[in-house]
Amino acid sequence: MSGESERVAHYGDYQNELYGAGLRGVLPKVPVDFATLEARATAAMPRYVLDYVQGGCGDEHTQRWNAEAFRHWGMVPRMLVDTATRDLTTELFGLALPSPIFMAPIGVTGICTQDGHGDIAAAQASAATGVPLMLSTLSNDPMEAVAKACGDTPAFFQLYTPKDTALAESLVSRAEAAGYKAIVVTLDTWVTGWRPRDLNSGNFPQLRGHVLANYFSDPVFGKLLGHAVADDPAAAVGLWARLFGKVLTWDDLAWLRGATKLPIVLKGICHPDDAARAADAGVDAIYCSNHGGRQANGGVAAIDMLPGVVAAAGDVPVLFDSGVRSGSDVVKALAMGARAVGVGRPYLYGLALGGADGAAHVLRSILAEADLMMAVNGWPTLEAVRAAGAARQG
pLDDT for 86: 97
Evaluate the CA torsion angle 221, 227, 230, 236 in order and state its sign.
Answer: negative
151-201 residue pLDDT tens: 999 999 999 999 999 999 999 999 999 999 999 999 999 999 999 999 999
Active site residues: 291
Using CA atoms, how far apart are residues 337 and 240, in angstroms rounded to an integer? Answer: 38
Give me the percent of the chain exceeding a pLDDT of 70: 98
Give me the percent of the chain exceeding a pLDDT of 90: 96
Alpha helices in 260-301 (DSSP H): 272-280
Using CA atoms, how far apart are residues 115 and 137, in angstroms rounded to an integer? Answer: 19
Is residue 198 classed as helix, strand or coil in its secondary structure? helix
Q: What pTM, to 2 d.p., does this model score? A: 0.96
pLDDT for 4: 42
- CA-atom Rg of the chain in angstroms: 20
pLDDT for 172: 98
Report, as ranges of residue numbers, the positions in the chain whose pLDDT lies below 70.
1-8
pLDDT for 369: 98
Across 114-247, where does the E strand assignment appear?
133-135, 155-159, 183-186
